[in-house]
Every structure is written in structure tokens, then in C-alpha cells.
Amino acid sequence: MASRSRKRGVLSHVRSRPTGAATSRARWARWEVSAASAAAQCRRLFVAERDGRVAGAVRASLLHDSSVGGRAEATPHVHPDHRGHGVGHALAAAAEKHLAAVGATHVYAWTNDEPGTHPFAERHGYRRSRAGRVLRLDLTAAAPPLLPLPTGVRLHTGRDLDADPQSLYVVETEAGADEPSDGPADATTYEDWLRRTWERPFTDLDLTSVVSLDGEVVSFTLAATDGRGRHVSAMPGTRRAFRGRGLARLAKTASLHRARDADCTDAFTGNDAANAPMLAISQAFGYRPFSNEWRYVHELGRGSHGEACCRRP
């Protein structure tokens, strides 16, 4: 299963909906405000301008899903046309100054494999901690075969449970505790999960697939789409007592089939590079390597700022 931070990373491959860029940005901004829990996360969005144009941005916030204090996240994004002019440095400096003021001691960021990102990160005090893999599946080819349902097993969509999705929160909380991560994912409340996961603008309840056994929800895969043919499996997870039965595979297979029927052409998933079992499952579905991402951590008070953490916007 993809780690929670990997889930956030792979969602970068889902962009704006076809209803128009302005509408999409407005919708995303409204969600950001409603989901921020600003008192708890002390979230800030910094935007950099250069020559009268938006050149980059960074969202800085304390990590909300861990009981370990002092952890924060800030990944500056700088448009390629504006790199090399100090934009990333200015964004990182502003983000880290804010995070230090609200009690952060460690700042985490993702980089991709674009030229120069890693040397800049390491030169300015960021230390590489772990790797993530983004994989792609061509949905225009043959879909994985549908699997027979064992006795007592039923498949549902996320829409079926939209009125009361708390059972999915229980599954994700238990599954998330066993995922590779920067710290224990043990502090997400149901209300936070609703705002930050279930109500996320790109979450697709019709393609989200849920497995129940004898009436109890035991496994699901969360789907996100952008209306442009791209599908992301953002959270395959199964409760511990029901693992090893292929239930997550059932959920993911059903989601991919519905995605194909909905005219999705590309499916993405993200796995921690150390999560060999999930990488093997993804490859068995037909996913192939698409890109690499790296998690970096910077201990505040050590090193300097830089443009190292810039990712392609």
C-alpha cells in the first residue's frame, strides 16, 4: 500500500478538471481553506512573483497526521522559466521561517529526478531519507481480468458509502499504521480524514472501490481522477486480520475496470521504494516505472536554504 506521504506525491499527476483552469483553481482553493485546520497546522501558502508573473509557490504546514511533534512539510514549486533566479531560495526561506516560528524542527520535502534537484537539496542542508516510485498503467490495453468473489465478499463503490464513510476511515487508520512513513500516522481524526481525504476535490467516489466481508468493510482503494483520462490509486489498504486473501487486489481490479469504462486512459500509483510487496503487486497489474521521487528532510537551524526542492509545476 502506498504511504500517506506517497499518496500526496502521486496525486501531483492528477491536474485540473476540464471545467476550466480558473474553476479548478477556485475549487481547489476553497478546499484548501476548508481543510487547512489552520489552528492545528499553522498552514501558510507563499507565492513568489518575478517580473510581474507568478513564478512559484510553496505550501508550508505542520504534519497533521502524526503524534510526533515538530514535523512539517514544505515543497517549493518553481516554474522552469524562473529557475536559477533565487525564487526557490526565497520560497524555502519564507516557508522555513514560518515553520520554525510555529514550532517545527524538521521540514520534509519531495524532489523528482529533474537535473540539479538533488545536488541543490543536499548543498542547502536537505538530507535524502527515502525514495518513492510512481508507476503508470496503460488502460487502453487489456485490463486485468476480473476475479471471482469469494463467499461472503461484496464489492461497493465509494458512492455507496458516501453517507457514512467512517468504516473506510477505520480501514485507512489501521492500514496507514503499517506503511513506510516519516513518523507514526496515528493522529488523524475522523473529521480531518473527511476534509483532507474523502472531500479532496479530485477524489472520485464512483471509481473508489470497497470490499466488504460478511457485511463488514475490510479493504478499499481510493481513486482520484482529473476528468482528462488520468486515474490514481491513492490508498489501497486492508485491515490486518483480513490480509493475505487478495481483497485489495479485488478492490483495485474493480476500480481499474470502472476507470476504463469511464474512458480513463492512464492509471498511476505510487509506492515507497522499500515496499517490495506493493511494488510486486503493482507490476503484476501491469504498471511500469514512470518516475522517481525522493523524500528529503531538513533540520531547522542547520544548513542553508536553496532551490533544491523545486519540483515541476
Residues 62, 170, single domain; the answer is no
Q: Please report which confidence band the pLDDT of residue 308 belongs to, taking 50, 70 and 90 as the band edges.
A: very low
Residues 146, 27, single domain; the answer is no
Average pLDDT over residues 132-142: 92
The domain of 209 spans 137-292
Sign of CA dihedral 247, 250, 251, 253: positive
Nearest to 170 by CA among 214, 212, 225: 212
Any domain includes 50: yes
Nine-digit cell string for 214: 460478511
Among the residue ranges 36-50, 129-143, 285-299, the one predicted with the least confidence is 36-50
Q: Can you give the pLDDT at residue 43?
A: 83
Residues 35, 68, single domain; the answer is yes
Any domain includes 307: no
The mean predicted confidence, pLDDT, of the chain is: 84
Residues 258, 120, single domain; the answer is no
Question: How many domains is the chain built from?
Answer: 2
143-183 pLDDT, tens digit each: 788 889 999 999 999 999 999 999 999 999 998 888 777 77
36-48 pLDDT, tens digit each: 554 455 788 899 9
**137 vs 232: CA distance, rounded Å:** 10
Residues 218, 127, single domain; the answer is no
Residues 197, 117, single domain; the answer is no
| Dihedral over alpha carbons 89, 90, 93, 95 (to 10 degrees) | -120
Average pLDDT over residues 71-92: 92
Any domain includes 310: no
Among the residue ranges 19-23, 169-173, 258-262, the one predicted with the least confidence is 19-23
Any domain includes 214: yes
Counting every residue written for the chain, the total comes to 313
Q: Please report which confidence band the pLDDT of residue 274 belongs to, taking 50, 70 and 90 as the band edges.
A: confident
- Residue type present at position 227: G
In whole angstroms, what separates CA 178 from the centre of its chain?
16
Any domain includes 304: no
26, pLDDT greater than 60 = no
Residues 123, 144, single domain; the answer is no
pTM here is: 0.81
In whole angstroms, what separates CA 108 from the centre of its chain?
14
- The count of C-alpha atoms lying within 13 angstroms of the C-alpha of 301, restricted to the half-sphere facing its C-beta, is 7
Beta pairing partners, 107:
72, 298
Reduced to 3 states (helix: H, G, I; strand: E, B; else coil), residue 288 is: strand
Residues 112, 16, single domain; the answer is yes
Residues 229, 198, single domain; the answer is yes
Paired sense of beta strands 216-225 and 230-238, if any = antiparallel
Nearest to 279 by CA among 112, 177, 111, 135: 135
Any domain includes 232: yes
Residues 44, 124, single domain; the answer is yes
Q: Can you give the pLDDT at residue 116?
A: 79
Residues 185, 275, single domain; the answer is yes
229 vs 195, residue with greater confidence: 229
Any domain includes 189: yes
Q: Can you give the pLDDT at residue 165?
A: 97
| Dihedral over alpha carbons 275, 178, 166, 9 (to 10 degrees) | -40
Residues 274, 195, single domain; the answer is yes
**44 vs 192: CA distance, rounded Å:** 18
CATH of residue 281:
3.40.630.30
- DSSP states of 57-126: EEEEEE-SS-SSTTEEEE--EE-GGGTTSSHHHHHHHHHHHHHHHTT-SEEEEEEES-TTHHHHHHHTTE
